[in-house]
């Protein structure tokens, strides 16, 4: 067997929960879509808060052979591997063709090049089975004229020499790490991620050696947590991440129901409700004094499968969240209100079981 297609059973050995991995492999096997290896999964222009202030950004999601951990089973909420090219690998030439498509998108939709480039995959950009070293170096050269580069990776693959492809180009470089939570038990049992918080701290140290920073990605309300448990876990996780040297940004991502995931199976059985947008606002407001930039990007807000309130106030609360991301001013949440906040408060006071949400 080639190194590009490791046996799932070998890679999961001693990592994660066997039952979770077996279930996730069965769920992922249901997909039947195919994807063009020369087309990126997504590309868009936006604005982001960085240590150097607000910057226009170009976000690229490369279509790769998929996350190595997901092929073994993977995270309970992540459906990105279902959008990956089959076969376990994408060639250097095809990956660079995807980058060209993204540059064309930028040229057609922006007056000038974005100073911030964010590159994600369905797994780890720094995993050389997913993105070859040749491609990583070529991408560093392609964007050498920009200000800042963000790449996503699991802690395993964060290495000084891999980040040097960007730092040696003069780019301010950040590694986005999908930590999900600072609580090891929640990460292992609810998310089915195999590493510990100490591994995140080690990756931060490795990034510092390369003169790079770290952006921690947290998951608001994974499976098996009630709403109040999820809020408490996020509040403590934000503060723990902010206390780690080199971690300058914490991005809290409310869970949404993606296809081909365990979250989707439980959701269809009535046992999961995505987080309230009031919960997102609560965590952002209560951790505004943390020693880090704290942001959130609720995907699918207002829908049944995404973070939502009652349907009437969702857009207003989402606008306040985006305003907070850029200004870091918790007073923005004083400008939004809705009768459904009383329902959310009752949920926070009384919900005890993850499997029986008190409100949909």
Say if residue 7's pLDDT is above 60: no
Report the mean per-residue pLDDT for the chain. Answer: 90
Detail the DSSP E strand segments found in the chain.
42-50, 53-61, 116-120, 148-152, 172-180, 213-220, 247-254, 293-296
pLDDT tens digits for 279-303? 999 999 999 999 999 999 999 999 9
Say if residue 10's pLDDT is above 60: no
Say if residue 182's pLDDT is above 70: yes
**Nearest Cα residue to 217 out of 190, 246, 182, 188:** 182
Tell me the average pLDDT across 263-282.
95
Q: Tell me the C-alpha distance between 132 and 123, whole Å.
A: 13
Per the CB < 8 A criterion, the answer to whether 123 and 130 are in contact is yes
Say if residue 58's pLDDT is above 80: yes
What residues are paired with 55 via a beta bridge?
A: 48
Long-range contacts of 37-40 (CB under 8 A, 24+ apart): 37/63, 37/85, 37/90, 37/91, 37/94, 37/98, 38/94, 38/97, 38/98, 38/101, 39/63, 39/98, 39/101, 40/98, 40/99, 40/101, 40/102
Q: Residue 27 — pLDDT band, cuts 50, 70, 90?
A: confident
Q: Tell me the C-alpha distance between 356 and 226, whole Å.
A: 9
Say if residue 268's pLDDT is above 50: yes
Say if residue 34's pLDDT is above 80: no
Q: Give the chain's radius of gyration (CA, Å).
A: 20
Say if residue 2's pLDDT is above 80: no
Q: Tell me the C-alpha distance between 115 and 326, whole Å.
A: 16
pLDDT of res. 239: 98
Q: Which residue has the higher pLDDT, 120 or 74?
A: 120
Sheet containing strand 293-296, strands side by side: 42-50, 53-61, 116-120, 148-152, 172-180, 213-220, 247-254, 293-296
User: How large a percentage of the chain has pLDDT more than 90?
Assistant: 78
User: How large a percentage of the chain has pLDDT more than 70?
Assistant: 90
Say if residue 313's pLDDT is above 70: yes
Mapping DSSP to helix (H, G, I), strand (E, B) and coil, where does residue 111 land? coil
Per the CB < 8 A criterion, the answer to whether 170 and 145 are in contact is no
pLDDT of res. 4: 46
The model's pTM: 0.89
pLDDT of res. 122: 81
pLDDT of res. 76: 93
pLDDT of res. 1: 35
pLDDT of res. 22: 79
Tell me the average pLDDT across 218-245.
97
pLDDT tens digits for 203-230? 999 999 999 999 999 999 999 999 999 9
pLDDT of res. 359: 72
Q: Residue 237 — pLDDT band, cuts 50, 70, 90?
A: very high
pLDDT tens digits for 113-144? 999 999 999 889 999 999 999 999 999 999 99
Say if residue 14's pLDDT is above 70: no
Map out the domains of the chain with their CATH numbers.
8-350 (3.20.20.70)
- DSSP annotation of 202: H
Question: What is the per-residue DSSP string for 117-182?
Answer: EEEE-SS-TT-TTTS-HHHHHHHHHHTTTSSEEEEE--GGG--HHHHHHHHTTT-EEEEEEEEE-S
Per the CB < 8 A criterion, the answer to whether 267 and 312 are in contact is no
pLDDT of res. 283: 98
């Amino acid at each position: 067997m080639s190194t590009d297609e490791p046996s799932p059973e070998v890679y999961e050995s001693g990592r994660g929960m066997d039952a979770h991995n077996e279930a996730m492999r069965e769920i992922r096997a249901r997909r039947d879509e195919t994807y063009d290896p020369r087309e990126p999964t997504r590309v868009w222009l936006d604005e982001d808060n960085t240590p150097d202030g607000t910057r226009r950004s170009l976000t690229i999601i490369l279509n790769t052979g998929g996350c190595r951990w997901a092929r073994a089973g993977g995270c309970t909420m992540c459906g990105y591997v279902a959008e990956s090219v089959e076969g376990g690998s994408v060639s250097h030439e095809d990956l660079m063709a995807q980058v060209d498509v993204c540059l064309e998108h930028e040229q057609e939709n922006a007056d000038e090049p974005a100073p911030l480039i964010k590159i994600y995959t369905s797994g780890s950009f720094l995993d050389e089975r997913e993105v070859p070293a040749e491609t990583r170096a070529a991408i560093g050269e392609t964007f050498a004229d920009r200000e800042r580069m963000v790449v996503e990776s699991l802690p395993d693959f964060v290495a000084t020499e891999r980040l040097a492809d960007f730092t040696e180009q003069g780019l301010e470089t950040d590694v986005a790490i999908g930590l999900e939570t600072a609580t090891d038990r929640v990460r292992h049992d609810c998310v089915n991620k195999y590493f510990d918080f100490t591994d995140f701290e080690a990756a931060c140290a490795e990034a510092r050696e390369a003169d790079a920073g770290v952006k921690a990605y947290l998951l608001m309300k994974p499976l098996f947590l009630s709403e109040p448990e999820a809020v408490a876990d996020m509040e403590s996780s934000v503060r723990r991440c902010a206390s780690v040297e080199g971690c300058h940004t914490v991005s809290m991502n409310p869970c949404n129901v993606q296809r081909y995931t365990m979250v989707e199976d439980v959701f269809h059985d009535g046992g999961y409700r995505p987080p309230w947008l009031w919960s997102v606002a609560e965590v952002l407001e209560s951790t505004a004094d943390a020693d880090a930039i704290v942001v959130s990007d609720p995907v699918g807000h207002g829908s049944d499968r995404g973070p939502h309130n009652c349907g009437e106030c969702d857009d207003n609360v989402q606008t306040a969240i985006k305003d907070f991301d850029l200004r870091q001013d918790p007073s923005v949440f004083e400008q939004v209100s809705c009768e459904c906040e009383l329902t959310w408060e009752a949920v926070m006071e009384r919900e005890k079981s993850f499997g029986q949400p008190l409100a949909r």
